[in-house]
Structure 1
Amino acid sequence: MSFVKKTTDIDFGQTPIENIFINDFMPMADGTYVKVYLLGYKYATDRDDNIIVDNNTISKHLNIPLVDVLRAWDFWEKAGIIKKHPKDTNDNNDFTVEFLSLRQLYIDNNYELKNVSNFKSSSNSKEYSCSPDDLIKANKSPEIKNMFYQIDQLMRRQLTINERLVVLEWIYNFNMDTDIIVKAFEYSIEKRKVKSIRYVGGIIRSWYDSGIINLEKLEGHLNSVDKKYIYYDKIFKTLGFNFRQPSKAEKDTMDIWLDEWNFSLDMILKACENSKKTSNPSINYINSILLAWKNDGINTPEEVEIKNQERKNSKAKKISSKIFDKKNKFNDFEQRAVKYSNAELEKILGIKK
């Protein structure tokens, strides 16, 4: 007795990927990082000694900069699913990538109860599971209550009890600020277009593995991977739009400011500050300010201040000119009056007959 599997005339090959990677790690990563991992994994699986591959090979194959390939390996090493082994060369970019068994890592972290800092938030390998009582107690905190309110606004619905328990467990297990949790939902919904608690959880774990547990570190991280997301967020915060995401039309307009008109973020925020003059600021209002600056050739906040000072001086000059004109008119009246003698004035006014 034997077992046979039919093969095709052409060996197309196949690369087996563990479901743990697809379910748990892929959602937390940038698409480019996933491509680098999969192609590198394919090369490792093929093991063809006749083919020499390195990071430059991956860069050319995926048509991406070499620096993105290197960042991808840094990301996956922080996630704990690969190890980089430097070669005996002076080139820091020349290293061997070892792909770790995700199934073995899962067993190590969930059954042998080892302390693996890349995956757990404390020395206890068991994550804390929140109960309904924990949720009731936590909801008495204004900070937690406000967090859930903002999440509900972003999701356009109220979270279920089970979803709220999951969110609360992130705070317990990853020691995350509530602001970071809200930002994870914003990033998932706005950038990735995904309204999934599990997907947001993947983002949270990714940020935690990268040491991102407060807004300051998050801003630096997002600034390196998604600068426009940071720009949108800062512009909307300056305008006071804290509880909604920009529409496609608003993003298109902001992209024009950045990409076509080449305004810096400082200039855009300067225009937002000028919106305080109106009770109903909007993206269109800011657009009119920036368009006027573009037409006037104003490119820096300093030039804006100079222009504003010139307008103030011009306005003051006009006011001074009007006052001067009034005085001249009054002086003209007095000059006409002195043409009469006292006797003539007394006679006109009826003082003497």
Structure 2
Amino acid sequence: MSTFVFKNKIYDYTPVSNIFIEKYMPKARGEFVKIYLLGLKYCISGELGVNISLIANSLNLLESDIMNAFNYWNDEGVINLIPIDNMGNFNIEFLNLASDDSTENDEKVNLLEELNKTSIKDMLQDIEKLIARPLSSKEMTMYLSWQKDYCFKPELILLLIQYCVSKGKTDYRYIEKIAMSWHDDNIKNIEDAQLYIKKHEDKWIRIKKILNYLGIKSTEIMKPQEKMIDKWINVYNFSLEIIYKACDICFERINKTDFKYIDGILNSWFKDNIKTLEDVEKKDKKRSGFKKKKVYNNSKQSVFNDYTQREYDYKDLEKKLLGWDNE
């Protein structure tokens, strides 16, 4: 549970910068403004530390809302949110916004110039509709920089945002990572992006089917496991039925799901050029036949058949046993 430590002077009132009111407040969510003002009040009044649950209860909000708000204001450059430890505790410093115009003057002028362009303004408005919230100046600058740095056209940027939203992701950090991956994969137009999305989505559809078959409902698998499955699908080009068969064999032999064991089976099949279930059956029959032949050849021969049998005169033998041969 997070605790926030506020560092500033003690006053009997809470001064709010006009720059905050004019520049930052209009585009921010209402609950974010409330959280900023309450945090500023704690800071000014000299509170040493306030638990996140106390702030949430005071404003009838969720604790996640509080964390999202402080992250938002940190991204906006209104506060400094500094982690203290690994337990979710932070130092919060409310910055002096009086110097805001001088420190970011060039960026603001460029942004204002860009916003005067109809195409840019329309794109940013469409992005706001897609993510269902106002954009920060930092986000606007980031999206506009993609046009220069990545050579992304507005329609490609909108497709990227739409793709992220379809996955339930609207955080700008996640969106930025996707943009970087598209740039690294040399995606420059809508056609490239659609092929990338199809390939990526097809891959994850198959991964989800394999995980469901194994009884794993969550897609939050570890990277090594994801790489294994990706190898089975895209390097070995195994069909789902072949992968399912390897999963069945794994469970039959060790009675649990083990990715390394399944990987070992599929590695062997790939080396043996096995492509279908019929190939698997042929291999099993060949292996079974080899085992039977080996067992037969190594078995001991019958002690009754291991030498040349003698022929007896049973009547003569009977006379000897009864003592009649002396008569």
TM-score, L = length of structure 2: 0.39
